[in-house]
Structure 1
C-alpha cells in the first residue's frame, strides 16, 4: 500500500462501505456501533494512518486531510440518521399515547395543620407577648436533670408516680439516660447555667414531647406533648403566678375565663396547686365536658421549691420563682371538643381538615 493512489482508492472504498452500512440500517444502537467501527481508534481509517510512516510529509498531509474528510462525511451521515430515527420514534409514541387534554385533572390532597400545633402557636404567642423565651430542649436526658435537681432524688416516693423509659446504657446513677418524663428538665438545665446572682429575671417556656409508661387509650398515651413555664428572679410571688395563670387562660380560652386553685403536691414546687378553668363550653353553668361541675382541671403549678434552687447552685434566699406545666393534648381536646387523644397521631385527613 505504498502507492499513494492505491491508498486513496482503499480509503474511498472504506468510505463507500461505511455509507452503505449507514443507509441500510435503521436501529439507533447499531448506528452507534457503526460510529465506533468506522470512526474509532481501531477503525480501518486509523489502520491506514498508522501505515504512512514511509511517506514524505506532503503525502502524509494529503492523505491525512482525505481521511478527515471521509470521517466527517460519515459522522454527519450517522448523526443525521440517528436524529431522524429518534424523531420518528417520538412521533410514533405521541400518536400512540395521545393525551386527551380535555380530561379533568386529578388534584392532590392538601395537608392540614395538626390541632396540636395550632395550640402550640397560640401558647407561644401568648408567652412571647409577656417576654418569655421559647425553647424545646432535649428529649433524651439523664437522671440528674430529669429527677435529682428537681427535688426528686433516688428512692424519693414521687418517682414511682412517673414510670420512666430508660435507655440501654452503661452509665449509672445520676448519669443514667432516659426519655424525659416532663419538660421541667429544661428548668433545671437553665437554672444550672445562669449567672447565680440573677440580676435579670428569667422567663422561659419549654415545649416538646415527653414519655411515660402509660397504656394507650382514649385519654392516655405513652408519648404526649407538654409545655412547662417558669419565671425566676428577686421577689417573684404567688400573686405573680396567679395573675399569669389568669392571663394565660383568658387568652387561650375566653376573655371572661376564671381560674380556681386547689392545694396539691409536686416535688419541685412548694406550695403547689392544681389549676382549674371555668368550662369554656358552658361558661361554668355545667355540661357533659365539665361533668356538670362548671370547672375543668388543666394544669399543675406552684412556687419553685428552695431545694431546686440549691441543687442548681442558686443560694440567694431572695431569689424565688414559679413554675407550671400543661399537656398540649389536654388543651386541644378541651378547645376542640376531641374525645380521643389517639386522633392527634392518626394523620387522618378526615380529622385534620376540620382545623
Structure 2
C-alpha cells in the first residue's frame, strides 16, 4: 500500500506540472486526454489495477483513484475558466473607454407633426377623434351637402372600392329614420366624415378634431400625393360665430408658427360651410415681403374653413335655428412643408434616411 500511495502522489504532482504549462484550449485538451483518456489515461489505468489487487486493498485503491480523478477534473475546469476569461480580454481593449452610441430610430416627421398639432388643440379643449378610412357615400358626401353631380364624387377624383363591404350599421338619413346597412364604397376623401359620425351620436356642444389619412386620385408631384393626412375641426354650440373661428385659427397659427404670425380669410365656396373662406398665414420665409414660396404675395394658404351649413345640421338631426358651428381643415403635409421649409412633399415618403434623420428628436 505504501507503494500505491507514493504512485498516486507522484501522479498528482505530474498532473499539476502539466496543468501549469497549459496556455491554450488545445493544451488543456491534451492534458485531459493524457490523464482521463478512456483507453490510455493515467488515472484510468489506476482504476484498472483495482481488479488485480488483493481483496483487502481494493477499497483503499478505489478511494485513492476517486480522489485523484476528482482533483484532476476540478483542476481542468478551473484552468478552463481562466483561459475563458483571458480570451475575453482582447489585447489592446481598454475597458475604461465609453461605449459607442448605438443607432436608434425616431418618429417620422409627419407623425411628429401630427402629434404637435394634436397637442395644441388638446390644450384648447378639443377631443381627438379617429375613425375608418373606408367610408360610405352618406357620411363622405351626402350628409355634407354634396349633391350627386358634385365633381368630387366622380371616379376621376375619388378612389372607389371594387368590392363594397358593410362598414357596420349606418343610418341612411337623419337619426330616427329607417336604419339600414350602408356599404363602404370608397376610401374617404376627407376626415369630415368623422364629424358626421360624431354628430349622429352626440348632442351639442361639440368640440372635436379628426386627424387621419385621406385618399384622392391625384398624381404624385411636388405638392400632391394620392394619400395624405388631414386634420379637420368642428365646433358646434349656441351663438358660435365667425369671430370664434378666426380667433381659433389665429391662436393656432401663432402657437404653431410664430407669436406674431398674421392670418387672413379669403372668401371661397365649400358645400358644407356657408359662409366659407380659405385660410392664409403670413409667409414664414419672407415675413410678408414676397418670395418664391409665397409666389410674391406674402401669404400662404393652409386650409379651408367656414360656418357649418344648415343642411349638414339637418342631416344629423341638429336644429340649425338653435345651434351654429364652424369647421376647418388643414393638410398635415402642407404644415410640415411650411414648418420645415421643404419644397417637395415626396421627400416625406421616399424613406431616405439622410432626409428623415434631419428631423430626429
User: TM-score, normalised to structure 1's length?
Assistant: 0.69
Whether the 8 Å contact between 1:236 and 1:322 is mirrored in structure 2 is yes
1:183 paired with 2:191, answer: yes
1:111 aligns with: 105
The DSSP-based 3-state class of the residue aligned with 1:347 is: coil
Q: Shift in Å at residue 170 of structure 1?
A: 5.2
| Equivalence map 1:217-256=2 (5 Å) | 217-256=221-260
Q: Shift in Å at residue 130 of structure 1?
A: 1.8
1:166 paired with 2:161, answer: yes
Q: Shift in Å at residue 348 of structure 1?
A: 3.1
Q: Shift in Å at residue 228 of structure 1?
A: 0.3
Q: Shift in Å at residue 222 of structure 1?
A: 1.3
1:37 aligns with: none
Q: Distance in 1 between matches of 2:314 and 2:150?
A: 17
Deviation per residue, 1:117-170 (Å, 9 max, x gap)? 333233222222221111222222222212221112433334238422425235
1:130 aligns with: 124
Q: Shift in Å at residue 85 of structure 1?
A: 8.1
| Equivalence map 1:1-355=2 (5 Å) | 24-25=37-38, 99=90, 101-102=93-94, 106-160=100-154, 162-166=157-161, 168-169=163-164, 174-195=182-203, 198=204, 201-355=205-359
User: Quick one: structure 1 residues 156 and 84, their matched pair in 2 at CA, closer, same or farther if it must change by over 3 Å?
Assistant: farther
User: Quick one: structure 1 residues 275 and 137, their matched pair in 2 at CA, closer, same or farther if it must change by over 3 Å?
Assistant: same
Q: Distance in 2 between matches of 1:179 and 1:246?
A: 32
User: Quick one: structure 1 residues 247 and 80, their matched pair in 2 at CA, closer, same or farther if it must change by over 3 Å?
Assistant: farther
Q: Distance in 1 between matches of 2:70 and 2:188?
A: 68
Q: Distance in 2 between matches of 1:299 and 1:334?
A: 13
User: Quick one: structure 1 residues 189 and 222, their matched pair in 2 at CA, closer, same or farther if it must change by over 3 Å?
Assistant: same
Whether the 8 Å contact between 1:158 and 1:267 is mirrored in structure 2 is no
Q: Shift in Å at residue 332 of structure 1?
A: 0.9
User: Quick one: structure 1 residues 304 and 78, their matched pair in 2 at CA, closer, same or farther if it must change by over 3 Å?
Assistant: farther
RMSD after superposition: 3.3
The DSSP-based 3-state class of the residue aligned with 2:358 is: coil
The DSSP-based 3-state class of the residue aligned with 1:353 is: helix
Whether the 8 Å contact between 1:253 and 1:335 is mirrored in structure 2 is yes
Deviation per residue, 1:41-79 (Å, 9 max, x gap)? xxxxxxxxxxxxxxxxxxxxxxxxxxxxxxxxx9xx999
The DSSP-based 3-state class of the residue aligned with 2:338 is: helix
Q: Shift in Å at residue 24 of structure 1?
A: 4.4
The DSSP-based 3-state class of the residue aligned with 1:109 is: coil
Q: Distance in 1 between matches of 2:138 and 2:71?
A: 77
Whether the 8 Å contact between 1:165 and 1:211 is mirrored in structure 2 is no
Q: Shift in Å at residue 107 of structure 1?
A: 3.6
The DSSP-based 3-state class of the residue aligned with 2:197 is: helix
Structure 1: which 5+ residue stretches go unaligned? 1-22, 27-73
Structure 2: which 5+ residue stretches go unaligned? 1-35, 40-65, 168-180
Aligned residues: 284
User: Quick one: structure 1 residues 107 and 285, their matched pair in 2 at CA, closer, same or farther if it must change by over 3 Å?
Assistant: same
Q: Shift in Å at residue 112 of structure 1?
A: 3.2
The DSSP-based 3-state class of the residue aligned with 1:216 is: coil
Q: Shift in Å at residue 204 of structure 1?
A: 0.4
Q: Shift in Å at residue 111 of structure 1?
A: 2.4
Q: Distance in 2 between matches of 1:308 and 1:78?
A: 93
Q: Shift in Å at residue 330 of structure 1?
A: 0.3
Deviation per residue, 1:94-133 (Å, 9 max, x gap)? 7667645339855422323333233323322222222111
